[in-house]
Structure 1
């Protein structure tokens, strides 16, 4: 009897830059542990060519993609063109980091950023005897990665969310969206001190959701934030 030959499904991670991404290593190892045939690779998309890149991948038979900077908003916009193409997480975030390419040519978009982040934060906080529901979060950045975390913070019971961003209006807009789902929040510029806000006394967890995290840069925040931070 001839052995069945399983052709490996193809998946990719799309970004610009993309060389830093650990997704091929992570997903290939997950697949190996589960005994799943899988081919996973990085794709560098032109900054103005995300939709064209996705179309070419679909035509080549790729099954789906993870999406990293700076294309999470583009991924949301692409999927939004079709009905029933967004999960609730992607719809709230207005950004997507996961795309499923359907056989009929449509794209299903999801956002898993927030859930994964909260699980990891709780794992680290547990070593300090803490949990997210005992903490407040300072989030740096107000783009696709940041917006993908807001609903997860609310579900995790975070006491307060402060959003700081170079463009203050974007920080305040994201804070308003957080307040709309009953997560107390405020927004400001990167140099805004904690004393500017009416904050609870809870420990501060700092999350860098800006592009500076790709280089490992320490954000130039008011020093009082770092003095209050536990993580």
Structure 2
């Protein structure tokens, strides 16, 4: 039996997750010895899987698609970020079988856009594609940076309207998006995982300073390629967001704040 502190990421699929490598890099910075696993849970069985992990001594968990809303329901208390998002991607055990949920997605993404990509959010027109837990998680943090506008669009317009009402932003149908209006276009759909592109017109990217995909690596490429061909000045996948949100989770669990820059560089070459 290992007595190292145990952490894990829950997902479905989860085999592609780079979270274990990232957290091991943070542990090296801290000079700590940890275990960090990928845990596949069946749809509808997240609560059971998470309860079993913590009962066996787990000390913290990350949650990826499609379980961020399940994780929200699983925990006993929520950070302001998690409440605003209605989604949880970080679970912190409080003892006595109680858990706190937080959401580090927005912090991870916005820091990456501003610091690593060098693109200001303040005063810009931002388009969010998708209406799931990942998108909900980033809206409140984007709003703090005071963009000129945030528009949300989604394949199912009703879902976009729900998120828009929740945050006081605007929902526009995919085929009605204005051309040459958005400075930052963020893809928060998981379509890339199956090679699907969101059904937005190329003209939407005509004056786009940054097209950003929340997923990373190969899965992000179809969307980023489409954005580049359609006129986006710069594109970025979600690797910096992933490392940034992971660092925030790590600090919540262990009280140690990792330096994300060297880890982003390291992960590009893994």
| Structure 2 residue 87 is matched with structure 1 residue 87 | no
| Structure 2 residue 181 is matched with structure 1 residue 192 | no
1:154-193 paired onto structure 2 within 5 Å: 154-179=143-168, 185-193=169-177
Structure 1 residue 229: deviation in Å?
Answer: 1.4
Partner of 1:21: 17
The superposition leaves residues 18-51 of structure 1 with CA deviations (integer Å, 9 ceiling, x where unpaired) of 0111111111111111111110010000011001
CA–CA separation in structure 2 for the residues paired with 1:24 and 1:58: 18
State the TM-score, normalizing by the size of structure 1.
Answer: 0.85
SS in 2 for 1:90: helix
CA–CA separation in structure 2 for the residues paired with 1:125 and 1:59: 41
CA–CA separation in structure 1 for the residues paired with 2:43 and 2:136: 20
CA–CA separation in structure 2 for the residues paired with 1:208 and 1:77: 25
Structure 1 residue 124: deviation in Å?
Answer: 4.4
Structure 1 residue 173: deviation in Å?
Answer: 1.6
Structure 1 residue 178: deviation in Å?
Answer: 2.0
| Structure 2 residue 30 is matched with structure 1 residue 34 | yes
The superposition leaves residues 63-107 of structure 1 with CA deviations (integer Å, 9 ceiling, x where unpaired) of 11000000000000111xx3xx11011011110000012321111
Q: Larger Rg: 1 or 2?
A: 1
| Structure 2 residue 104 is matched with structure 1 residue 112 | yes
Does the CA-based 8 Å contact 1:134-1:159 persist in structure 2? yes
Distance 1:20 1:191, change over 3 A: farther
User: Aligned pairs, how many?
Assistant: 209
The superposition leaves residues 179-222 of structure 1 with CA deviations (integer Å, 9 ceiling, x where unpaired) of 1xxxxx21133333216xxx9x6x52111111114356543311
Does the CA-based 8 Å contact 1:65-1:100 persist in structure 2? yes
Partner of 2:47: 51
CA–CA separation in structure 1 for the residues paired with 2:54 and 2:97: 7
Partner of 2:125: 136
Which of 128, 141, 145 is matched with 2:134 structurally? 145
Partner of 2:190: 211
Unaligned runs of 5+ in 2: 211-270
Distance 1:215 1:124, change over 3 A: farther
SS in 2 for 1:134: coil
Unaligned runs of 5+ in 1: 1-5, 180-184
The superposition leaves residues 95-144 of structure 1 with CA deviations (integer Å, 9 ceiling, x where unpaired) of 00000123211111000110110000112442xxx411032211111111
Partner of 1:228: 207
CA–CA separation in structure 1 for the residues paired with 2:175 and 2:81: 30
Does the CA-based 8 Å contact 1:93-1:111 persist in structure 2? yes
The superposition leaves residues 133-174 of structure 1 with CA deviations (integer Å, 9 ceiling, x where unpaired) of 032211111111110011101111122111111110111121
SS in 2 for 1:109: strand
